Every structure is written in C-alpha cells, then in structure tokens.
C-alpha cells in the first residue's frame, strides 16, 4: 500500500467523521464514520452524491432551533478564507427524523502561495452531551417554576409550557380533584393555534 492508501485505512478507523472538500466545495474524501453519520453505505457512495443531494437529506439547526445557514458551516468558512472555523450544529434526518448534534471543526490546506486547496472537516458526535445539557437546563427551569408559586395549577401550567417543545410537541395536564373528578388545567402545543 502507498502512503495515501495507508492514510485512508487509518482514517477509516477513526470514530469521528472526517471529510475533505476541494476549493469548489465538492467532497473529495470521506472516512467510514462520515459516511455512516450521513446515512450512506460507504464513503464511495457519499462521494458520489451531489452537494444538493447532501443538503436535501438534512435540516440544519443552531443551538436555539433556528435554521443554520449552510454558508456558515466551518468548511465553507474555511474555503472563503478563514484559517480555521468551528461550530456546534444540530441536524435532523429527513428520512428518519433522527436528531443529532455535531461539533464541526475545519482547517485549510493551502498551497505555498497561501491559496486554499482543501478544507479538512472533522466532526465529532456531541448528541449525548447536548441532550444531557438540555435535560439539565429543563430541570433547572422546572425547579425555578416550582419555586415561584404555591398555586398548584399555575405551577403545573408553567411546567406544561416548559415541556413544549423541549420534551414534546403537545402537553396536557389533568388534575384529579379531592372528589375524584378530573380537570384539565393546562394545555401547551408547539403551534399556539392548536391549543384552542
């Protein structure tokens, strides 16, 4: 095996996704972890996909759930002239609905004159850490909501509001009264029109 083949074999054993883009933004290398994370059977299948096909597979979101501009992806920023770039991005697969988080770091490979030849992208799965942080944030907010009022119904309404969209698209809270009757005291939905 030559040095390039050795490097490809080594990078296929790395757990993080590694891709390389040429100066036009086209993928010219991907390791096995990158192919798996993007839903392809092999690196060759990933490299055969067009940029528009890749873009159509996922919705990209920032930490707040807003659409993440593709031109702000670290690889694109490096190709536009930044030496290095990094960000955390959330992506949702259109095929499966699965939500994942990645920390993406990119750096430039330049020719002797300083012109960018390639962007090397390494992305690390951060899903477990982000979910743990979200859960911790929810618990903190719920604790504050519980501490703000002694009114049970107001407190449960606050908890229902906190639950959407963090835990679900829809939340209803029913309270069993002392006489055994059941009352719905709170309804929250990600679409406010559906609450009615």
What are the structure tokens assigned to 35, written together?
A: 């192919």
Give the domain-ending residue among 75, 99, 125. 125
Give the domain-ending residue among 125, 154, 182. 125
pLDDT of residue 56: 87
Give the domain-ending residue among 75, 96, 125. 125
Tell me: do 171 and 113 sit in the same domain.
Answer: no
Tell me: do 169 and 185 sit in the same domain.
Answer: yes
What's the CATH code of the domain at 99? 3.30.450.20
pLDDT > 90 in the chain, percent: 39
Tell me: do 118 and 170 sit in the same domain.
Answer: no
Is 38 in contact with 47 (CB distance < 8 Å)? Answer: no
Return the bridge partners of 89, or none.
102
Contacts of 95 (CB under 8 A, 6+ apart): 39, 57
Buried b (16+ CB within 10 A) or exposed e, 92-122: eeeeeeeeebbbbbbbbeeeeeeebebbbbb
pLDDT of residue 10: 60
Question: What distances in angstroms separate CA 32 from CA 61, 121, 188, one per listed residue?
Answer: 24, 14, 42
What average pLDDT does the segment 129-143 reach?
A: 85
Contacts of 7 (CB under 8 A, 6+ apart): none
What are the structure tokens assigned to 131, written together?
A: 């979910």
Structural domain that includes position 101: 3-125
Q: Please write the tens of the pLDDT for every residue from 149-194.
A: 788 888 888 888 888 877 778 889 998 988 999 988 888 888 777 7
What average pLDDT does the segment 121-128 reach?
A: 91
Is residue 179 helix, strand or coil?
coil
Is 142 in contact with 44 (CB distance < 8 Å)? Answer: no
Tell me: do 163 and 86 sit in the same domain.
Answer: no
Q: Please write the tens of the pLDDT for every residue from 43-55.
A: 999 999 988 888 8
Specify the DSSP element, H or E, that contains 9: helix 3-11
pLDDT of residue 193: 79
Q: Tokens 């982000």 label which residue?
A: 130
DSSP, res 14: -
Tell me: do 32 and 117 sit in the same domain.
Answer: yes
Q: Please write the tens of the pLDDT for every residue from 14-27.
A: 678 999 999 999 99
What are the structure tokens assigned to 57, written together?
A: 């597979």
The number of distinct structural domains making up the chain is 2
What average pLDDT does the segment 124-139 reach?
A: 87
pTM, entire model: 0.70
Return the bridge partners of 120, or none.
20, 107
For residues 100 and 90, what is the distance between their CA atoms, to the nearest angstrom? 6
């Amino acid at each position: 095996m030559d040095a390039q083949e050795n490097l490809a074999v080594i990078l296929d054993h790395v757990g993080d996704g590694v891709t390389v883009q040429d100066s036009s933004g086209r993928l010219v290398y991907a390791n096995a972890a990158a192919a798996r994370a993007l839903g392809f059977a092999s690196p060759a299948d990933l490299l055969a996909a067009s940029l528009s096909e890749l873009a159509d597979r996922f919705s990209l979101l920032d930490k707040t759930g807003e659409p993440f501009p593709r031109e702000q992806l670290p690889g694109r920023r490096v190709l536009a002239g930044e030496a290095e770039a990094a960000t955390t991005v959330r992506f949702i697969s259109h095929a499966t609905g699965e939500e994942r988080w990645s920390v993406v770091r990119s750096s430039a490979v330049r020719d002797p004159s300083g012109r960018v030849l390639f962007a090397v992208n390494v992305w690390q799965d951060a899903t477990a850490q982000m979910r743990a942080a979200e859960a911790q944030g929810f618990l903190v907010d719920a604790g504050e909501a519980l501490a703000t009022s002694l009114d049970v119904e107001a407190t449960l309404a606050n908890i229902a509001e906190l639950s959407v969209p963090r835990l679900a698209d829809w939340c209803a809270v029913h309270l069993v009264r002392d006489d055994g009757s059941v009352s719905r005291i709170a309804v929250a939905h990600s679409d406010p029109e559906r609450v009615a």
